[in-house]
Structure 1
Amino acid sequence: MMKVIGVIPARYKSSRFPGKPLADICGKSMVWWVYNEAKKVSMFDEVIVATESQIIVDACQKLGMNVMMTSDKHLTGTDRVAEVAQKIEAELYVIIMGDEPLISAADMERLILSISEAEDADAIMLTEQFRQPIDAVNATTIKLAINARGYLIFMSRSVIPYPKEALGYELYKNVGCYALRKEALDFFLQTKPGNIERAEGIELLRLLENHRKVLTVEIDSESMAVDTQKDLERIQRVIGQRLE
């Protein structure tokens, strides 16, 4: 069995929501909920929170969470994970976004199993169908075009495919959990962003622009990213209901 590391990028200096990883959800920080769920994944050899903030390091250590200080120069979560990969050797790095506390251990396990069975995949990501039509026109939500074999064709902040000739098909979005093989992560680190990545502001386009294969795994999930205070309130309600 390959060595698999789970990494949770947790950036304190978010431009839209400063201190977001430490936002309170039912008495625990948001990053704690993500970490606690990731620890349930038996296939992880290790789970690490990667941050640029001493405040987050202190908060994690206080709760017994494995945490690593990384550079404050990283532009993306994948760059932050690449730094972790320089220090901890593994064959697969699963990146669990610290602002999606509803991602389940079962879905992370499906991700790992799926890429272990797809030798031609350089990377893999979770996806689900849109439930809220408003999300399809929200530029913070990444839309996916996927081929019949489940491989990613393109990612965009715009609606793709565009409904010019037909309606009634499903639209797909990314879920904040994806994984890269070590070689693909090294390639990402050594390759400059291309024109499409810079235009869209989506880091995994770096792989697609260079003909790397990204597999998708469709899930049925309640997961949603926390980008605003309103998003946080929705998450608080969901987790509060679960606890009851």
Structure 2
Amino acid sequence: MKVTVIVPARYGSTRFPGKPLANILNKPMIQHVYENVSASTLVDEVIVATDDERIKSVVEGFNGHCFLTSKEHATGTDRIAEVARNLSTDIVVNVQGDEPLISAELIETLIKPFQDDEKLQMATLKSKIKNQEDVTNPNVVKVITNKNNHAVYFSRSTIPYNREKIEVDYFKHIGVYAYRKSFLFDYINLPESILEKAESLEQLRAIENGHSIYVSEVSNELIGVDSPEDIEKVEKFLKAR
């Protein structure tokens, strides 16, 4: 089973232009992501998918593999599909270029269910929420799963709503995905769904169209970079390791 990790990376960002090239402990963020996922023994190749020559130049500067894509893609999934279309691979993993704390361990947890189930089409990750403020924070996407570890729903709202005040765990969705290559193209050709538009969560397109998403639980905490202030948080975490 061949596994390809594709890292979509855009230079343009309203809150943080040039984000993939932001310096983190004397190394561009995109290099942290690239090297971390490359460390997995289950990954056969890593490709950065970008629409910007500056990012391409930096990636090639640290001997990374980069593919220059169209600037017209609406989502990162569309961008990785352009790259995957011409690849000979079985599993395509989508890791955002603003996740410098992604680890080989997380990638392997994401991939292993495909080794156990040849019918599995799509997978992602979750972690238990430890900070109660995150339960009601709409910027923290929550997920609920069934007893077979398949996603029931993803939401920015608090799910489940604990009307009876019983003891219940809440889970944060970690936005990395793995797709069987054949399913990836079926997925991007589905029309944008009502739930997807309402929540602004692309993965709901799969659920609303009757497709299953396998969700593995991990204990790792990730600090995604959305603004320059997040760089300091990431550096503090890395220095403490």
Q: Within the alignment, does 1:169 sit opposite 2:184 as a pair? A: no
Deviation sequence 1:18-50 (CA, Å, 0-9, x none): 211111110011111110011111222210011
Deviation sequence 1:105-150 (CA, Å, 0-9, x none): 0121121112221234210001101122222233222110111111
| Partner AA of 2:125 in structure 1 | L
Specify the alignment match of 1:93 in structure 2: 92
Q: CA deviation at 1:3?
A: 1.4
Q: CA deviation at 1:85?
A: 1.2
In 2, the alpha carbon distance for the partners of 1:225 and 1:142 equals 13
In 2, the alpha carbon distance for the partners of 1:139 and 1:31 equals 27
SS in structure 2 opposite 1:24?
Answer: coil
Specify the alignment match of 1:3 in structure 2: 2
Specify the alignment match of 1:212 in structure 2: 211
| Partner AA of 2:237 in structure 1 | V
Specify the alignment match of 2:125 in structure 1: 126
In 2, the alpha carbon distance for the partners of 1:60 and 1:170 equals 40
5+ long unaligned stretches in structure 1: none
Q: CA deviation at 1:160?
A: 1.1
Specify the alignment match of 1:50 in structure 2: 49
Q: CA deviation at 1:167?
A: 3.7
In 2, the alpha carbon distance for the partners of 1:79 and 1:155 equals 20
Deviation sequence 1:153-193 (CA, Å, 0-9, x none): 11111111112223421111111321011122011121111
| Partner AA of 2:26 in structure 1 | G
Aligned-residue sequence identity (percent) comes to 37
In 2, the alpha carbon distance for the partners of 1:231 and 1:115 equals 33
Any residues of structure 2 matched to 1:1-244 within 5 Å, and which?
A: 2-242=1-241
The root-mean-square deviation of aligned C-alpha atoms, in Å, is: 1.4
| Partner AA of 1:136 in structure 2 | V
SS in structure 2 opposite 1:234?
Answer: helix
**TM-score normalised by length of structure 2:** 0.95
Are the equivalent residues in 2 in contact too, given 1:144–1:172 (CA < 8 A)? yes
In 1, the alpha carbon distance for the partners of 2:223 and 2:122 equals 21
**Pair 138,11 (structure 1): closer, same or farther in 2 beyond 3 Å:** farther
Are the equivalent residues in 1 in contact too, given 2:113–2:120 (CA < 8 A)? no
**TM-score normalised by length of structure 1:** 0.94
Are the equivalent residues in 2 in contact too, given 1:143–1:172 (CA < 8 A)? yes
Are the equivalent residues in 2 in contact too, given 1:176–1:225 (CA < 8 A)? no
Question: How many equivalent residue pairs?
Answer: 241
In 2, the alpha carbon distance for the partners of 1:42 and 1:240 equals 25
Deviates more, 1:2-11 or 1:130-139: 130-139
Deviation sequence 1:31-76 (CA, Å, 0-9, x none): 1111001111122221001111111111111111111111111122
In 2, the alpha carbon distance for the partners of 1:121 and 1:159 equals 28
SS in structure 1 opposite 2:85?
Answer: helix
In 2, the alpha carbon distance for the partners of 1:118 and 1:154 equals 22
Q: CA deviation at 1:239?
A: 1.1
5+ long unaligned stretches in structure 2: none
Are the equivalent residues in 1 in contact too, given 2:33–2:99 (CA < 8 A)? yes
